[in-house]
Structure 1
Amino acid sequence: MLERLGVHGTRVLRKEDLDGLDALIIPGGESTTISKGLDRLGLFEPIQAFARSGGAILGTCAGAILLARECENHPVPTLGLLDMRAVRNAYGTQVDSFVAPADSDAPADLAAMRCVFIRAPQIADLGPEVEVLLRVDGLPVLVRQGRVLASTFHPELADDPRVHALLLGL
Structure 2
Amino acid sequence: MKVGVIGLQGDVSEHIDATNLALKKLGVSGEAIWLKKPEQLKEVSAIIIPGGESTTISRLMQKTGLFEPVKKLIEDGLPVMGTCAGLIMLSREVLGATPEQRFLEVLDVRVNRNAYGRQVDSFEAPVRLSFDDEPFIGVFIRAPRIVELLSDRVKPLAWLEDRVVGVEQDNIIGLEFHPELTDDTRVHEYFLKKAL
Shorter-chain TM-score: what band? Answer: over 0.9
1:73 paired to 2:90: no
1:91-132 CA-to-partner distances (Å, cap 9, x unmatched) read: 1100000011114xx435263111010000001221211000
Secondary structure at the counterpart of residue 17 of structure 1 = helix
- Could you tell me how far apart the structure 1 residues matched to 2:183 and 2:42 are? 29
- Could you tell me how far apart the structure 2 residues matched to 1:18 and 1:54 are? 13
1:85 paired to 2:110: yes
Residues 15, 121 of structure 1: CA spacing in aligned structure 2 closer, same or farther, 3 A cutoff? same
Structure 1 window deviating more from structure 2 (13-22 vs 78-87): it is 13-22
- Could you tell me how far apart the structure 1 residues matched to 2:121 and 2:59 are? 26
- Counterpart residue number, 1:150: 174
1:12 paired to 2:35: yes
Identity %: 42
Q: Which amino acid aligns with 1:54?
A: G
Unaligned segments of structure 2, at least 5 residues: 1-17, 25-29
Asked if the contact 1:84/1:124 (under 8 Å) is kept, the reply is yes
1:131 paired to 2:155: yes
Q: Which amino acid aligns with 2:191?
A: L
Secondary structure at the counterpart of residue 141 of structure 1 = strand
1:23 paired to 2:46: yes
- Using the TM superposition, give the Cα deviation of residue 53 of structure 1 relative to its aligned residue in structure 2, in angstroms: 2.4
Unaligned segments of structure 1, at least 5 residues: none
Secondary structure at the counterpart of residue 49 of structure 1 = helix
1:94 paired to 2:119: yes
Q: Which amino acid aligns with 1:131?
A: K
- Could you tell me how far apart the structure 2 residues matched to 1:60 and 1:141 are? 10
- Counterpart residue number, 2:164: 140
Paired residues, number = 168
TM-score by length of 1: 0.94
Residues 108, 83 of structure 1: CA spacing in aligned structure 2 closer, same or farther, 3 A cutoff? closer
1:32-67 CA-to-partner distances (Å, cap 9, x unmatched) read: 110110111121110111112221000000000000
Q: Which amino acid aligns with 1:46?
A: P
- Using the TM superposition, give the Cα deviation of residue 20 of structure 1 relative to its aligned residue in structure 2, in angstroms: 2.8
